[in-house]
Structures are given as structure tokens and as C-alpha cells.
């Protein structure tokens, strides 16, 4: 556990209030290598570059997965990470799908602890609204030229201080349904966090942004009848009856934020519905939220489809309640009744 002295170390050369969501080189990242059938111990590295074979499988055949989680400087001064064990388990789903080795959950959490501790002065101060974004990256680095999995892997975990993903924090954004592209295939890799899924989303996301819609909303790739998820976050809505509804789909990422919000909604006495959501139902919601580690809860006040525009509450009272409950737990202002926070 970090000492009081370590915890009181906060950088003075960063304007915490103006942080957005962008890359910032910090002191170190941590790197573990998989070679000869086992993981190395993990080493802190200060060089922010990597060298590998020009035939590495991550470069040619997309053996690359990643994760996203956050550490928070809490009200009591401690630094805690939100549910790192869940990210470890999800990374293992990605690893299994691309035929790479899995990572013991406790080992992953210890790597997270070490890299956060080494960069503790970059964790934004309590009250600034910022957090330390933790980005694990898992890549096949061994050479293969026939299509086959690598024998060697690197797990790097980098960190950086971040503020809101969309400018303005909890300011509502407009979303556009993507009609001409999919980010995932029906039985493809949408449920895991492969880099390739994001490559597939770049073009439609750019087109939507240029039309004034910062959030692309993808439909299920098989029929385009049902709501899947946003480009970098899950979809949930508050029905006019006050229930929390979120899509059940075999092509979306299992969001840890969404799973946690479903628990919080239940704790608040709300009904939770995990089910298919038909596009014609978009008019039945009072509030819509995008949820994820980076976007936290971002309210969506308008969704445009090819033939309809749907509008939602601009002051989103239920999303606010959920947001306050979630951030209250993350910043240590509310009891962590589900044991979600991992102290470094
Ligand atoms: N869906 C997609 C496509 C994402 O990129 C993310 C971000 O990680 C999420 C959902 C939200 O997942 P989580 O809440 O685990 O960050
Ligand atoms: C996250 O929320 O952690 C993500 O990975 C979303 C995005 C920045 C890719």
C-alpha cells in the first residue's frame, strides 16, 4: 500500500482543470513479456517506445487487444482503482479469442498497482474531477508470416491523467445512427476489445462527427433492427416508466461501467431490463446515456436515424442520480458496498 508521503505527492506542473482525454507521456509504463510458455515478472520502463520484429503478429494479423480502467484520488487521500479484476477477466476473453495466453487476474492487478504507484504524482487531485486512465495493451510480438498466432506476447500497461472524454463533461451530446457500416460482425469480435474493432469504427465515426454528431450509434450487424452500442461506450436508456434498459446483444462489448450501473440502479430500487431494444423503441425513452470508463455517463439528448429524430430530456435527472452514485463510490464519498475499489 502507498505510504502517506507517497500519496501526498501531486505534480504542480499540470493544469488539472483543463485536462481532456489525450495521450500524455508520464514517468513509466509497466511491461510483462510472455516467452517460452510463461509471463515475466513485469518491469517498469521509462522509454515510451517499443521495438519488435517487423513480422510481429500484432502488426500484420491484428493480434492486439486493449483495456481501459481508471484510478481515482479519493476523499480520504487514498488512490483506488475501479474493478481491475473485471478488466483482467475481459482481457482474458480477448486473449482466448485470438489464441494468446491468458493472464492471472491477481498478477494483472499487481501490475496495475505497481504502475499506478510509480506514477502516483500524476493521479489528479481529489476535487479536480480528473482521474488516472490506465490503458493495458496486449500484443502478439513474435514473427509469423503464415496466418497463425504468435508464440510471444507483451502486456504493457500505460497510464495518463485525464479529464472528460467529450468537451463539457456531463453536457449532453447528439448521436447519429450509423446506417452504412458496422463495427463488428454478427459472430465476430464485437464482444471483446480488439484494436481492429476500433479501426472499423473510425470512418463512420468521422463521418458522423463531421455532420455534428460526436457519438456514432451502431445497430446490430445482422439485421440493423436492434440497438447495439455507441462507438466507445454502451447504450442504456431510462424508459418513460423509469426502468434502466440496455441491449442484450452478441456483438457488443460487455461494459464494466454498464454492469456496475445496473447494480447501482437495482440498489436505487429501479427495474433493470437487459433485452433487445428495437430501433422503433427509441421514442419510448425519457433519457439516454452512453456509459463506459472513458465517457463515464454521457447524456445523449438527441438521436438521429435515417428517417427520424428523437429528443430526450435535457436535464436528465435519473442519469444524474446514477452518475452521482457511481462517482461517489469511485471518489470514496459513498460506501463501496460491493467491494469494487482496489487500493494501491
Ligand atoms: N463499448 C465500447 C465499444 C467501448 O470501447 C467501451 C470502452 O471501454 C465500452 C463499451 C465501455 O466499457 P467499460 O465500461 O468497461 O469501459
Ligand atoms: C474506455 O472507455 O476505456 C475505452 O477504451 C474507450 C475508448 C477510449 C477506446
Averaged over successive runs of 10 residues, the pLDDT of the chain (344 residues) comes to 86 95 97 98 97 98 98 97 98 98 98 98 96 98 98 98 84 96 96 97 96 96 98 97 97 98 98 98 97 96 96 94 97 98 98
Q: Which stretches within 11-104 are classed as H helix?
A: 57-60, 84-97
Residue of the nearest CA to atom 10 in ligand 1? Answer: 233
Q: Are 56 and 150 in contact (CB under 8 A)?
A: yes
| Residue 293 CB–ligand 2 contact under 6 Å | yes
Contact in structure between 113 and 120 (CB atoms under 8 Å): no
Q: Which of 65, 68, 219 to mutate to test the pocket of ligand 1 (most atoms within 8 A of CB)?
A: 68
* pLDDT in the model for residue 166: 81
CA 293 – ligand 1 centroid, Å: 6
Q: Ligand 2 center to residue 289 CA distance, Å? A: 16
What is the 232 CA–ligand 2 centroid distance (Å)? Answer: 6
The residues assigned a catalytic role are: 193
The number of the ligand 2 atom at minimal distance from the alpha carbon of 293 is: 2
- The residues, ordered by sequence, that sit 6+ positions from 197 with a Cβ below 8 Å of its Cβ are 183, 184, 189, 190, 253
Domains by residue range for the chain, with CATH: 4-164 (3.30.470.10), 173-330 (3.20.10.10)
**Is residue 68 lining ligand 2, measured as CB closer than 6 Å?**
yes
Count Cβ atoms within 10 A of the Cβ of residue 334 and give its class: 0-12 exposed, 13-18 middle, 19 or more buried. Answer: middle
The pTM assigned to this predicted structure is 0.97
Q: For residue 3, what pLDDT is reported?
A: 86
Residue 170 confidence (pLDDT): 82
Contact 229 CB / ligand 1 (< 6 Å): yes
Q: Whose CA is nearest to atom 5 of ligand 1?
A: 232
- Output the pLDDT for position 1: 80
pLDDT score of 2: 83
Amino acid at each position: 500500500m502507498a505510504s502517506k508521503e507517497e500519496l501526498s505527492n501531486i505534480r504542480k506542473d499540470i493544469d488539472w482543470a483543463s485536462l481532456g482525454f489525450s495521450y500524455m507521456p508520464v514517468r513509466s509504463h509497466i511491461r510483462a513479456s510472455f516467452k517460452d510458455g510463461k509471463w515475466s515478472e513485469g518491469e517498469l520502463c521509462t522509454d515510451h517506445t517499443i521495438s519488435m520484429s517487423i513480422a510481429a503478429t500484432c502488426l500484420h494479423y491484428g493480434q492486439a487487444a486493449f483495456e481501459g480502467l481508471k484510478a481515482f484520488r479519493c476523499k480520504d487521500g487514498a488512490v483506488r482503482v475501479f474493478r481491475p479484476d473485471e478488466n483482467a477477466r475481459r482481457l482474458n476473453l480477448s486473449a482466448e479469442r485470438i489464441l494468446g495466453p491468458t493472464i492471472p487476474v491477481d498478477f494483472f492487478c499487481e501490475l496495475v498497482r505497481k504502475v499506478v504507484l510509480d506514477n502516483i504524482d500524476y493521479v489528479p487531485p481529489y476535487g479536480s474531477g480528473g482521474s488516472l486512465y490506465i490503458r493495458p495493451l496486449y500484443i502478439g510480438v513474435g514473427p509469423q508470416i503464415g496466418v497463425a498466432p504468435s508464440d510471444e506476447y507483451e502486456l504493457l500497461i500505460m497510464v495518463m491523467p485525464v479529464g472528460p472524454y467529450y468537451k463539457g463533461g456531463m453536457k449532453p451530446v447528439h448521436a447519429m445512427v450509423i446506417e452504412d457500416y458496422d463495427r463488428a460482425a454478427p459472430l465476430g469480435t464485437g464482444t471483446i476489445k480488439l484494436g481492429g474493432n476500433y479501426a472499423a469504427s473510425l470512418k463512420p465515426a468521422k463521418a458522423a462527427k463531421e455532420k455534428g454528431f460526436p457519438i456514432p450509434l451502431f445497430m446490430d450487424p445482422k439485421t440493423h433492427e436492434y440497438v447495439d452500442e455507441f462507438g466507445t461506450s454502451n447504450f442504456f436508456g431510462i424508459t418513460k416508466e423509469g426502468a434502466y434498459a440496455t441491449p442484450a446483444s452478441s456483438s457488443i462489448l460487455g461494459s464494466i461501467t454498464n454492469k456496475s450501473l445496473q447494480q447501482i440502479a437495482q440498489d436505487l430500487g429501479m427495474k433493470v431490463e437487459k433485452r433487445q431494444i428495437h430501433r422503433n423503441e427509441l421514442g419510448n425513452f425519457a433519457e439516454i446515456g452512453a456509459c463506459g470508463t472513458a465517457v463515464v455517463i454521457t447524456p445523449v439528448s438527441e438521436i438521429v436515424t435515417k428517417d427520424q429524430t428523437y429528443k430526450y430530456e435535457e436535464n436528465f435527472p435519473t442519469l444524474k442520480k446514477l452518475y452521482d452514485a457511481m462517482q461517489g463510490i469511485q471518489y470514496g464519498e459513498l460506501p463501496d458496498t460491493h467491494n469494487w475499489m482496489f487500493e494501491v
